[in-house]
Chain A
Amino acid sequence: MHAAVVVFPGSNCDRDLAVALERAGARVSMVWHKDTAMPDGVDLIGVPGGFSFGDYLRCGAIAANSPICSAVKNHADRGGYVLGVCNGFQILTETRVLPGTLLRNAGLKYICRAVPLTVVTTDSAFTSGYDAGQTITVPIAHHDGNYHADAETLRALAAEDRIAFRYGDNPNGSADDIAGILSPNRRVLGMMPHPERMAETAHGGTDGAAMFAGLVQHLEHA
């Protein structure tokens, strides 16, 4: 399985995401934001966490208009797999690859701590390694993670089983406790928590590892 991890100025989880994918057995290429195309044969694009372009204007807004994001959008439009974590989720909403947006946390504070998440659906390559309803512990580290979408979008996300993860204790005010959502074809996942920071025992837990293992297994046999 060949994965590409996009690097923007201000990305800071790009290495972690690459290591998590490599440990799960993927071959990983790092791709610069000024590149205009993905390497040949990329199965999965990782859009990492961080503070791309200093969060200027809106989180993810400037990254969403960088040259590489046209390639990310094309990959998603062609049915390719994309994982956006934290700032990566914000970028995927700004490119409109995923619906809704991430507002400032309801409590206005930057929150950095491990939180309980409920795995809502196992019907995706990202979540097939978990049990439905399972509670996992994954860290969040964000100031703007308050998921917002109009009522119709929220209804569609629930009705189509596209809510991947919900917060156990909703730390940021997200609508419907949403921590991560899937695209209609279930091949794009955006989530605020960081599975790559909970992927080996030295991290204090390995609840994120099943996502990378599941992705590699699914895409190796795709």
Chain B
Amino acid sequence: MKARVHIMLKTGVLDPQGEAVRHALGSLGFDGVNSVRQGKVIELDLKDGTDEATIKDMCERLLANTVIESYKVEIL
């Protein structure tokens, strides 16, 4: 089975990289980009039957830093 974990900075945590991307889009002529938030996607190839609680445990203990990041688990 496969799972995909989406990790984003929490609302309220400044994202200077997203801000730099927003500026770069503006300089390419893309008007109207109000904000850009950059995150990461981690794909996991897992033993069949791995439950979502185990994947959440992986997120809590390593994949995300819950001080600043939120995560979402998607089972594929």
A108 and B17 form a contact (CB under 8 A): yes
Contact of B65 among A58, A104, A105 (CB under 8 A): A58
Chain A contact residue count (CB 8 A cutoff): 21
Which chain B residue has the least Cβ–Cβ distance from A60?
A: B65
Task: Note all chain A residues with C-beta closer than 8 A to B20.
Answer: 108
Which secondary structure dominates chain B's binding surface? helix
Q: A57-B62, A57-B63, A65-B62 are in contact. Are A148 and B16 (CB under 8 A)?
A: no
A104 and B17 form a contact (CB under 8 A): yes
B13 and A173 form a contact (CB under 8 A): no
A196 at the interface (CB under 8 A from B): no
Task: Note all chain A residues with C-beta closer than 8 A to B16.
Answer: 103-108, 146, 173
Nearest-neighbour CB distance to chain A for B21, whole angstroms, equals: 10
A87 at the interface (CB under 8 A from B): no
Nearest-neighbour CB distance to chain B for A213, whole angstroms, equals: 34
B61 and A65 form a contact (CB under 8 A): yes
Nearest-neighbour CB distance to chain A for B7, whole angstroms, equals: 10
A43 at the interface (CB under 8 A from B): no
A177 at the interface (CB under 8 A from B): no
Nearest-neighbour CB distance to chain B for A204, whole angstroms, equals: 30
Contact of B68 among A57, A105, A108, A148 (CB under 8 A): A148
CA distance A93 to B14 in the complex (A): 18
A100 at the interface (CB under 8 A from B): yes
CA distance A172 to B74 in the complex (A): 35
CA distance A57 to B68 in the complex (A): 14
B15-45 residues at the A interface, CB under 8 angstroms: 16-17, 20
Nearest-neighbour CB distance to chain A for B69, whole angstroms, equals: 9
A14 at the interface (CB under 8 A from B): no
Task: Note all chain A residues with C-beta closer than 8 A to B1.
Answer: none
B65 and A100 form a contact (CB under 8 A): no
A19 at the interface (CB under 8 A from B): no
B67 at the interface (CB under 8 A from A): yes
Q: Given A93-B67, A150-B67, 4 other A-B contacts at CB below 8 A?
A: A62-B62, A65-B61, A105-B16, A146-B16
Residues of A whose CB lies within 8 Å of any CB of B are: 57-58, 61-62, 65, 93-94, 99-101, 103-108, 146, 148-150, 173
Q: What are 19 pairs between A and B in contact, CB < 8 Å?
A: A57-B62, A57-B63, A58-B65, A61-B65, A65-B62, A94-B65, A99-B67, A100-B67, A101-B68, A103-B14, A104-B16, A105-B16, A108-B16, A148-B13, A148-B67, A148-B68, A149-B67, A173-B14, A173-B16
